[in-house]
Structure 1
């Protein structure tokens, strides 16, 4: 289970059906079948519209662009399984990561986790965190108000959550995590004007993660019992972003 995750609860939305058969019977000897097929152009437009709807739930994370941080230039790049699966699966098999994400083992476990988001309704977007041109972390930007997490705290419309892991051991334990958490929270608040709060729910046992969120300007809001863990609800409010 991800360290700040109650699971990325994305719902699979069936795609458009390219053809429908309607049978009409007239008596016992005759049967006609009317084959209705949607034009390919219509199907393409529907697919594009579905993709746009998914992007709209989080205001097009892929278009948020780069942000300057004390650690370097950073940006979020939406995951493509065919390109990124080996790297992310390798990170998931690091024992320090596996303890909280529980996606160690065959590559298919990570692939299923990613594709559940990529083929879902857009409420969670998996991303690589790229620092000075090098992929070095994995992020999930998600609509906390549309996630199962919302059953466990007083969610507000457009609350946006983040999950993350730092992939490179050399980037852990020296403040890079908190620097990037603050940068991503700033991106969320800048690019999602309807969002008043960024939230996270690290495992209570994951003290480095909790400390990183506190250092990034999040406040401790509550302890919550989620289905797979006891978590710390962390909140960063737009109203105090320039103070903390």
Structure 2
């Protein structure tokens, strides 16, 4: 199952106290709602496959592995954006030409758009440059993503090493699915440098392993390219993307992730990005750290 681990240097950050279990009735405490949402029940009824790469990757496992493959040529440049990077931001080192998407892929959804049009979220200014999520197009992006997946540091958590067909199958399960997971390239200052999966955690098999709430939204991430790791990019981009989720999905009260417990750089990156460690979760293919960023606490952590 792919990882939701962000493999980057996050630096040091205080670790919030672990959740001891359901506590007082507050927004940021995990509470168990015994009534599952109707759309979750309906989706589970149709689910026949294994947990696999559809929650932690929704077609890919969680474990935002530490994307370490070398970034290579990308076709097409991004259209100009009105938001400029901050003056003190420095563009990341890269070994690829700018990506210029000329259109946005629309992920099919059975009952409407389950993720509020990720492709339309637009660019956002971050301390490291202007960033945007560009939905994957298999015919354009499989070679690049497969190269990242074959880096040993990434493969250890995502488990998608192999020929391009392995990565393509993983992507197709999401692109041809019901829209609960949208695979994206992360484009920083016009250059693709990371792979993301934005997914409905409450409609995922992950919801069987933690007290999910309606519209919980999950994140999987890998940073591509050795030059982009160990510079704090993971923390900066995780905060930016989780802010995008909370801003563009008003019904979502929490952003969640489930990096492999062994992936300490990823867990550190999530903590530095304003997530809190909620619990250890035993998933079919790994022991994970449930990381949560609460809307109510976004300005405090």
Name the TM tier (shorter chain): 0.7 to 0.9
Question: For 2:215, what is the secondary structure of its paired residue?
Answer: coil
Question: For 1:104, what is the secondary structure of its paired residue?
Answer: coil
Q: Give the direction of change, closer, same or farther, for the CA distance of 1:50–1:182 in structure 2 (3 Å limit).
A: closer
* Aligned position for 2:169: 112
Take 2:157 and 2:109, find their aligned partners in 1: how far apart are those partners?
32
Instruction: Quote the RMSD (CA, aligned, Å).
Output: 1.7
Question: For 2:179, what is the secondary structure of its paired residue?
Answer: coil
Query: TM-score when scaled to structure 1?
Result: 0.82
Bigger-Rg structure (1/2) = 1
Q: 1:7 aligns with which of 50, 53, 61?
A: 53
Deviates more, 1:89-98 or 1:50-59: 50-59
Q: Is the aligned partner of 1:215 residue 2:264? A: no
Where in structure 1 do 4 or more consecutive aligned residues deviate above 6 Å? none
Q: Give the direction of change, closer, same or farther, for the CA distance of 1:79–1:54 in structure 2 (3 Å limit).
A: farther
Question: For 1:204, what is the secondary structure of its paired residue?
Answer: coil
Q: Give the direction of change, closer, same or farther, for the CA distance of 1:94–1:50 in structure 2 (3 Å limit).
A: closer
* Aligned position for 1:36: none
Take 2:278 and 2:111, find their aligned partners in 1: how far apart are those partners?
29
Q: Is the aligned partner of 1:205 residue 2:205? A: no
* Bigger share in helix: 1
Q: 2:200 aligns with which of 133, 143, 155?
A: 143
Report deviation, 1:79: 0.2
Contact 1:71 1:176 in 2 (8 A): yes
Question: For 1:243, what is the secondary structure of its paired residue?
Answer: coil
Gaps of 5+ in 2: 6-51, 60-105
* Aligned position for 2:141: 84
* Aligned position for 2:89: none
Question: For 2:153, what is the secondary structure of its paired residue?
Answer: helix
Contact 1:55 1:61 in 2 (8 A): no
Take 1:211 and 1:163, find their aligned partners in 2: how far apart are those partners?
15
Query: TM-score when scaled to structure 2?
Result: 0.66
Take 2:142 and 2:216, find their aligned partners in 1: how far apart are those partners?
28
* Aligned position for 1:157: 214
* Aligned position for 1:126: 183
Report deviation, 1:51: 3.1
Q: 2:295 aligns with which of 213, 235, 238?
A: 238
Gaps of 5+ in 1: 12-48
Q: Give the direction of change, closer, same or farther, for the CA distance of 1:214–1:55 in structure 2 (3 Å limit).
A: farther
Take 1:52 and 1:200, find their aligned partners in 2: how far apart are those partners?
22
**Alignment map for 1:26-65 (pairs within 5 Å):** 51=108, 53=110, 56-65=113-122
Q: Give the direction of change, closer, same or farther, for the CA distance of 1:125–1:3 in structure 2 (3 Å limit).
A: same
**Alignment map for 1:218-229 (pairs within 5 Å):** 218-229=275-286
Report deviation, 1:53: 4.8
Report deviation, 1:3: 1.5
* Bigger share in strand: 1
Q: Give the direction of change, closer, same or farther, for the CA distance of 1:157–1:104 in structure 2 (3 Å limit).
A: same
Q: Which has the higher contact order (CA 8 A, sep 6+)?
A: 2
